[in-house]
Amino acid sequence: MTAAKPRVQNVIQRHGRRGPQYDARETPETRPHDGACTLVPGRARIRNVDLTSAQAQFEPEPGWLNTASYGLPPTSAWTELQTALGTWRRGVLPWEMTGDSTARARSAFARIVGVPEHDVTIGAQVSQLLGPMAAALPEGSTVLVPQEEFTSMLFPWLAQSMRQVDVRTVPAAELAKHITDDVDMVAFSLVQSASGEVADADAIVAAAAETGAMTVVDLTQAAGWLPLDASRFDATVTGAYKWLLSPRGSAFMTTTPGLRDRLTPNQAGWFAGEDVHSSYYGPPLRLARDARRLDISPAWFSWVGTAPALELIEQVGVETIYQHDLALANRFCAALGHETGDSAIVSIDVAPDAAERLDTAGVRTAVRDGRVRASFHLYTTDDDVDLALEVLTR
């Protein structure tokens, strides 16, 4: 690597933080979105669903403490999905209008993470969404990543090694202090999968701003329980099947206009077209002007379940969910003599047979990095926590 290597910003640079890209006269009704698929007026904007009412939409067996692996669907999502599956089975599925679910989901997600809807791209998985960004890195770029990072956030950068992209790994807790002038991109999870550690986003963003490094953040273990503002980062990616309670196969990316203008939409298909249903056949290239240009065609049924799930998250309110999740996580920690923390994911050292005993008792957790990982969400109750504590304190 030479001192004169090109900075990433020369190719993927900032052009200011997110702002409207459309004429101010445009309205949600006239602004281009998912082709002929329209938003459901007012549906996603219902507010003030209390936590007790929301919990009544779930039917977990007692002892589910594993949302960090996958979230559970509310009745609203389950019902919409079963209805859609039924129409598919009978051959009466209006598939074109499944895009309405995608539009609803995009809109709800944008509000949950605090960005304009036209800055949101939809996809299937985190690594798939990161691919164009990794491919756009100039040769000789340097990417800084936590060494504990989940590989979907690590492998896309490591895969660029044949182009002499240098990937440095350091402990997650030390990320900010390793952002030096030669670092072009900082890629990290806001909440670490294995440990539940919440990144010091303030320090990381400040250090990146000082050196001119881009920030790319995985929100998969954060969005849905942790109040956050995705507009602070140059890009974010989120798998929706955990804390956003969605079927596996739906994911989101947010990007600044300046960044995505420099990404080649090499996975573009008809759904990335400015007018989706006029983009089935033939040239010329006619991609959407906004973040939809990076969309891939949605897996119908994943998005049918995602829209109502996100709408419920929004209706309850992430701040309310945060307070609930954190209270349960910290009660769990305190009862076991562990320090309380700031995460809905708890990683603890326990007896060697603890995971097996938990499983036998019907408490579903996970083992990550040799430790039991428990995770708490809006459907978790005191009884679930007590069931786990009964096993672990015998």
152 pLDDT tier (thresholds 50, 70, 90): very high
Say if residue 290 is in the same domain as residue 326.
no
Establish if 63 belongs to a structural domain: no
Do residues 331 and 348 make contact, with C-beta atoms less than 8 angstroms apart?
no
Do residues 23 and 274 make contact, with C-beta atoms less than 8 angstroms apart?
no
Domain end point (choices 314, 330, 357): 314
> Nearest-CA neighbor of 133 among 170, 206, 184?
184
Establish if 60 belongs to a structural domain: no
- Residue 119, classed as helix, strand or coil, is helix
Q: What is the CATH number of the domain that holds 174?
A: 3.40.640.10
Establish if 72 belongs to a structural domain: no
Beta pairing partners, 177: none
DSSP 161: G
Say if residue 310 is in the same domain as residue 165.
yes
> Nearest-CA neighbor of 69 among 194, 191, 200?
194
CA distance 330 to 379: 16
Establish if 61 belongs to a structural domain: no
Say if residue 162 is in the same domain as residue 276.
yes
pLDDT tens digits, residue range 373-385? 999 999 999 999 9
* Number of domains into which the chain is organized: 2
- Residue 40, classed as helix, strand or coil, is coil
Establish if 238 belongs to a structural domain: yes
Q: Which residue has the higher pLDDT, 353 or 170?
A: 170
pLDDT tens digits, residue range 349-363? 877 788 889 999 999
Do residues 298 and 122 make contact, with C-beta atoms less than 8 angstroms apart?
yes
Kindly state the average pLDDT of the residues 138-164: 95
Structural domain containing residue 325: 318-392
Domain end point (choices 314, 337, 355): 314
Q: What is the CATH number of the domain that holds 353?
A: 3.90.1150.10
DSSP 148: T
The two tokens of residue 391 are 């096993």
Kindly state the average pLDDT of the residues 295-322: 97
pTM: 0.88
Say if residue 174 is in the same domain as residue 299.
yes
